[in-house]
């Protein structure tokens, strides 16, 4: 069975193996066991309420319980830029015009920006290539939205996601080679690694403060501004379907796009809901579906889920994320059968993995958008 839970110290060896497999461009997943162990510790300290807002973060792991092995990760930052600077480029425009010469020229520019300071962030999504099947990737990505929906009070009003930009098979970034390389005098993988382990002061010290004209960059670099790495395209589309959009911000290292959304507009906030558990083979108890997704007053959610056809009324789509409501021991599974509107039936094994009993409340979310 596949289950997602908070990262624990016993996961460090598996996480380090995944970091080694992630390659260049995964800034938040450096191949440094000490840094990765600190990331796990930060998750545990966040759950215990021992950190300030700017230091809080969560790391989730996808565990193959049959082989007792962690095969994927995804993360959340509560508020970026409060304890260390958070930089990106804003893609803007400048107009150069002369009425006397009948010249009117609009040029795209890059401005160094801290506009996303204080936003929550989706980060660190990586799945072992051997497990990129059976909807594991979607499961791993979307669990973060379900966690946010359940515990909105722990997050900010806006959430962002920096997507991995284009780099070639040798790990070279055309964007970095055309711009950052001239200010930092180091290769892309080194700069990316330093940023990943928290050494970001050099960015403020060395990056140009004046706008950079995109049209002056080599054509190959221009073409990758706002483009994602080929391996990241599926993740990009998943986030778009969850409500995030590109609003003209890109990464300063590889030019990858930053997606953003208001938390209140996320699909998980609008469509997730709470039901009570029935255990397969056990005697039914009185159960009620509580239609108050994510503690947001929106009584239209069930209608949105069931308006597709009369036959679907009262039932959810086939693939659903099911999570307990325990903040510190948060656990999620993916089920692949229909779910009644008033309750959810789990096997004894599924209930044990979620650490719930008959009558417990769980939060459910369709894996795929109904729109």
C-alpha to C-alpha distance for 291 and 57, rounded to whole angstroms: 29
CA distances in angstroms from 335 to 199, 201, 316, 344, listed in the order given:
41, 45, 11, 10
Residue 232 or residue 160, greater confidence: 160
Sign, CA torsion 210/216/221/225: positive
Instruction: Give the tokens for residue 189.
Output: 């993988």
Angle at 342 between CA 324 and CA 316, to 5 degrees: 80
User: What is the predicted pLDDT for the residue at 25?
Assistant: 54
Q: What are phi and psi of 293, to 5 degrees?
A: -60, 130
β-pairing, 158-162 with 120-127?
parallel
Residues in contact with 229: Cβ distance below 8 Å, sequence separation at least 6, in sequence order:
25, 163, 164, 165, 166, 167, 254, 256
Whether 9 sits among the annotated catalytic residues: the reply is no
CA distances in angstroms from 258 to 115, 137, 248, 356, 359, listed in the order given:
12, 19, 8, 37, 41
Inform me whether the pLDDT recorded for 224 exceeds 90.
yes
User: What is the predicted pLDDT for the residue at 197?
Assistant: 63
Which residues face 345 on adjacent strands? 278
What pTM was computed for the model? 0.84
Considering 181, 229, 237, 337, which one is annotated as catalytic? 229
Dmax (CA) for the chain in angstroms is 86
In this structure, of 245-254, 261-270, 293-302, the range with the lowest mean pLDDT score is: 293-302
């Amino acid at each position: 069975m596949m289950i997602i839970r908070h990262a624990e110290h016993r996961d460090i060896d598996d996480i380090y193996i995944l970091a080694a497999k992630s390659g260049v461009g995964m800034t938040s997943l450096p191949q440094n066991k000490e840094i990765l162990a600190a990331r796990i510790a930060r998750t545990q300290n966040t759950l215990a309420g021992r950190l300030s807002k700017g230091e809080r973060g969560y790391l989730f792991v996808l565990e193959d319980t049959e082989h007792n092995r962690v095969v994927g990760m995804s993360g959340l930052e509560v508020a970026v830029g409060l304890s260390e600077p958070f930089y990106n480029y804003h893609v803007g425009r400048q107009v150069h015009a002369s009425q006397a010469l009948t010249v009117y020229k609009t040029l795209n520019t890059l401005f160094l920006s801290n506009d996303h300071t204080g936003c929550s962030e989706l980060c660190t999504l990586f799945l072992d290539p051997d497990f990129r099947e059976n909807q594991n990737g979607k499961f791993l990505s979307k669990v973060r939205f379900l966690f946010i929906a359940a515990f909105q009070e722990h997050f900010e009003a806006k959430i962002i996601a920096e997507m991995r930009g284009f780099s070639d098979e040798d790990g070279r970034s055309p964007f970095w080679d055309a711009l950052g390389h001239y200010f930092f005098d180091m290769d892309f993988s080194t700069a990316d690694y330093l940023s990943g382990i928290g050494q970001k002061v050099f960015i403020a010290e060395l990056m140009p403060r004046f706008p950079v004209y995109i049209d002056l960059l080599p054509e190959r670099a221009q073409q990758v501004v706002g483009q994602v790495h080929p391996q990241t395209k599926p993740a990009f589309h998943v986030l778009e379907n969850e409500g995030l959009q590109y609003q003209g911000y890109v990464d300063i290292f590889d030019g990858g796009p930053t997606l953003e959304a208001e938390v209140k507009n996320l699909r998980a906030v609008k469509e997730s809901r709470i039901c009570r558990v029935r255990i397969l083979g056990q005697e039914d108890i009185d159960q009620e579906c509580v239609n108050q997704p994510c503690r947001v007053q929106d009584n239209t959610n069930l209608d949105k889920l069931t308006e597709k056809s009369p036959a679907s009324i009262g039932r959810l789509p086939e693939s659903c994320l099911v999570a307990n409501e325990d903040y510190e021991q948060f656990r999620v599974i993916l089920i692949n059968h229909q779910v009644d509107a008033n309750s959810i039936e789990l096997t004894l094994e599924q209930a044990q993995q979620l650490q719930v009993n008959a009558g417990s409340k769980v939060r459910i979310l369709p894996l795929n958008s109904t729109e």
